[in-house]
Amino acid sequence: MNDALQTASSPRRIRQRNEIAVLQALHHFGSLTRADLARRLRVNRSSSGHIIEALAGDGLVREVESAGRGTANRAGRPGVHLELVPDALGFVGIEIGVEHMGVVEIDLAANVVASEIRPFAGASSDVSVAASEAVRLVLDVVPPERLRRCEGVGVATPSQMDGQGRVRLAPLLGWREVDLADLVRAQLPVRVPVLADNDANAFAIGATYHGQEPPSGVTLFLVMESGVGGGIVFDGKLFRGGNGVAGEVGHLLVPDADGEYRALERIVGLEVLLDRYRRLAGGNPLLSDLLSDVAAGKRAALGVARDWARALAFGLAQACRIIDPDRIVLGGSVAALYAPMAGHVVDAMAALQDSAFLLPEIVVTELEGSGPAFGAACMMHQRYLSLESQRLSETADGDG
Amino acid sequence: MNDALQTASSPRRIRQRNEIAVLQALHHFGSLTRADLARRLRVNRSSSGHIIEALAGDGLVREVESAGRGTANRAGRPGVHLELVPDALGFVGIEIGVEHMGVVEIDLAANVVASEIRPFAGASSDVSVAASEAVRLVLDVVPPERLRRCEGVGVATPSQMDGQGRVRLAPLLGWREVDLADLVRAQLPVRVPVLADNDANAFAIGATYHGQEPPSGVTLFLVMESGVGGGIVFDGKLFRGGNGVAGEVGHLLVPDADGEYRALERIVGLEVLLDRYRRLAGGNPLLSDLLSDVAAGKRAALGVARDWARALAFGLAQACRIIDPDRIVLGGSVAALYAPMAGHVVDAMAALQDSAFLLPEIVVTELEGSGPAFGAACMMHQRYLSLESQRLSETADGDG
DNA sequence: ATAATATGTTGCATAAACATACAATTCGAT
DNA sequence: ATCGAATTGTATGTTTATGCAACATATTAT
């Protein structure tokens, strides 16, 4: 699948390349003129015009209604701004979780046009049941005419993938060595690319998919819920590692308050966190209780939070030595604890490392609804904007 | 520098792309026929012929003398094998170390054609002195006519780079915020691309540069000497991280035998290792002594080695959670200790991690002479085979 | 010897980008 | 208000590299 070796370009594929480059640019910058595109892609203005003509013919790009004109403060004829036609295409993301199932549909501009979350007993369901249930949810949420314009379906699950897109192991769901994408593809009424991936990876892509600013640099992403998943995004693309399990920050070994090593997720995960607070403060606290108690400065809460911050800082510092991210994004419900503890985390990280190392920026994201489902949709969107399926399907070269 | 956004291709650049693809393929596979290339690059046989014609005209490719013919066990006209012309071009790598300075020249086939190591007091030398010393060494080692064919000079130093190719900090050499590449470039009598990089990164590229088999997957590389440097190679390219310090495995915090955390290099580095052995066994042992004592089964040596193995295993396991390499390559003199302790290391790693994670293959490399210098040369070789300087220099597009 | 198979080369058609020129449209200065 | 400068979008012709199809060539199998 991974060619590794640079594949040659044929005269016909130049156009495809350039069309994709235009779509990417329009996606990242919102709206540009033909001249802008020509400069940015380093092609002649006339070529830019031809490419736009073709894309407009396909209904993917249109001239923006001269709403926000006025801003022509520069001499010369003002350019006509172009934009993606949002509802030209759609992409669907599915999250199959332990307790719920979510679907998100986005359009060509990566805007969410439909979404729904539904309870689902993932732990006690067979794979094929999960697949058909997921497909049913898709059909409920996405009307047929939009489904026909769908250019990709992504499926995110809490599982280890094997690089070929098959599920190697999903302990929380009890699956093992199944081709989930294939199952979903078979049940869908339309022929469309279907890919499965790890939910943390999907979440990571989704969180970096604000559309604006072209992606660059290295971002480490953490999803902190019961477990702690992670993903690494490198220049906008996932870094999957050799076996597809890169970024598993939750399994890093960090010292606990008692000096023992535990997997990071066994310290900063939701259940463990609340359990510890329960032992100190009694009762049956929720995360929101812990948060408000921390805000109120209650000693027990602060102690638990400080241990949490220390462990998190250790894990992050270790990860920074390996991949040197310039940004760390925290997600999941437990990430809410970061805001009040940010100082502690940063100080602890600084104390753990050589002063020559720079501390990355650490931010908290909040994605409503199903983050992994949105991310899975974004992954298909990204895929469409990189090598494409439909357009490149005619690659049937006669070598025989 | 990093465009991130896909840049468009023009009709003239197609050829350049394809020529590069051919050079890459010939480099990785040694010798291929025109038909092989056509299949592999997915171009028409006739196009393949045209591309080869152009490359042969430039003296970069030639038909291989029908030495090892005979192997035509297949029906049909046998193809003419093509190969790179090794001495068509050259690349030079320089290592500026704390105690020595090394130069390696490789040819287009990435064979070493000249090399030399020379003592150098790096810790007490100014940057400009180091640069001119390095250039003098290059001029001594590389004869003028080969220097004229040089297509790139790489400089490797033990330093943090800042992504723009400048040295941010080189504590061992006492440098700070200098553009080393620029200094070297200014002193060279020929106009040639010069790039500087971290020595561990260079070493990593060099160690994965056996030429054979196209690079794929993720390799973690460790250089264990006094310090422990590291590099990550992803599909044959360096993963540098946000600030260019990715792969600094030596700074991972691992628990020592006494339960305290230390940077990995403070446990498994050469000096520390020998120091510990000295305290147990007395005398003034060298690494070779430790190795033979381990082989002889002496208790003190084994104890030191086991602690070493445990710390190394911890560090590697942590790194595996983050980047999930499918290969770990150990280099540097201390790597010799791995062979007798391989079982311990692997067992310790397995014990530290969830059974669902796969253990990467761990191998020891031994590069004679100056590994970083060879790697730096390889980096320039790789650069030439990816976007090129000379050929792409005519990119002066009139955008204003 | 003949058929089958694969390779390398040649002539022609096509696709896409480039260079250039030109009309259109706006800003600034007179 | 008018003119010049600047910038955009489009239309012209040219260049380049590829794809396609055919053919001569070289080897194995029958």
**End-to-end CA distance of chain B, in Å?**
20
Q: Which chain A residues touch B353 with a CB distance below 8 Å?
A: 251
Classify burial at A124, counting beta carbons within 10 Å of its beta carbon; exposed 0-12, middle 13-18, buried 19 or more.
Answer: exposed
Protein footprint of strand C, defined by Cβ closer than 7 Å to any strand atom: A 11-12, 14-15, 18, 42-47, 50-51, 72-78; B 8-12, 33-36, 45-46, 49-50, 52-53, 74-80, 397-398
A325 neighbors B241 (Cβ within 8 angstroms): yes
| Per-residue pLDDT tens over the stretch B176-215 | 899 999 999 999 999 999 999 988 899 999 988 876 777 7
Quick one: which of A62, A50, A243 has its CA closest to A163? A243
Q: How far: A74 CA to D7 C1' (Å)?
A: 9
* pLDDT the model gives residue A54: 93
Higher pLDDT, A385 or A213: A385
- What number of C-beta contacts closer than 8 Å exist between A and B? 198
* pLDDT the model gives residue A67: 55
pTM over 0.95: no
On the question of pLDDT at A398 being above 60, the answer is: no
Interchain contact, A241 vs B218, CB within 8 Å: yes
Percent of chain B with pLDDT over 70: 90
* Mutate which: B32, B44, B55, B324, vs A, most A CBs within 10 A: B324
Quick one: which of B379, B373, B375, B332 has its CA closest to B118? B373
* pLDDT the model gives residue A397: 32
| Per-residue pLDDT tens over the stretch A84-122 | 999 999 999 999 988 889 999 999 999 999 999 999 887
What whole-number distance in Å separates Cα of residue B307 and Cα of residue B310?
5
| Per-residue pLDDT tens over the stretch A160-214 | 888 778 898 888 888 989 999 999 999 999 999 999 998 889 999 998 887 677 7
* pLDDT the model gives residue B195: 93
**Other Cβ atoms within 10 Å of A11 Cβ, number:** 10
On the question of pLDDT at B307 being above 80, the answer is: yes
On the question of pLDDT at A4 being above 70, the answer is: no
Q: Which amino acid is at A320?
A: C
Classify burial at A172, counting beta carbons within 10 Å of its beta carbon; exposed 0-12, middle 13-18, buried 19 or more.
Answer: middle
What whole-number distance in Å separates Cα of residue A218 and Cα of residue A195?
24
Ordered by where they begin, the domains of chain B are: 13-69+77-84 (1.10.10.10), 88-206+371-384 (3.30.420.40), 214-364 (3.30.420.40)
R_g (Cα) of chain A, nearest Å: 23
* pLDDT the model gives residue A356: 78
Q: Which amino acid is at B219?
A: T
Q: How far: B78 CA to C1 C1' (Å)?
A: 21
Question: For residues B82, B83, B88 and B90, what is the CA-based torsion angle, rounded to 10 degrees?
Answer: 160
A210 forms beta bridges with none
| Per-residue pLDDT tens over the stretch B183-192 | 999 999 999 9
* Mutate which: A164, A240, A322, A386, vs B, most B CBs within 10 A: A322
- The CA-CA-CA angle for residues A327, B311, A330, to 5°, reads 20
Q: Which chain B residues touch A15 with a CB distance below 8 Å?
A: none
What whole-number distance in Å separates Cα of residue A203 and Cα of residue A4?
26
Residue A277 structure tokens: 């607070």
* pLDDT the model gives residue B71: 55
| Residues 6 or more apart whose Cβ sits within 8 Å of residue B138 | B92, B94, B103, B147, B153, B188
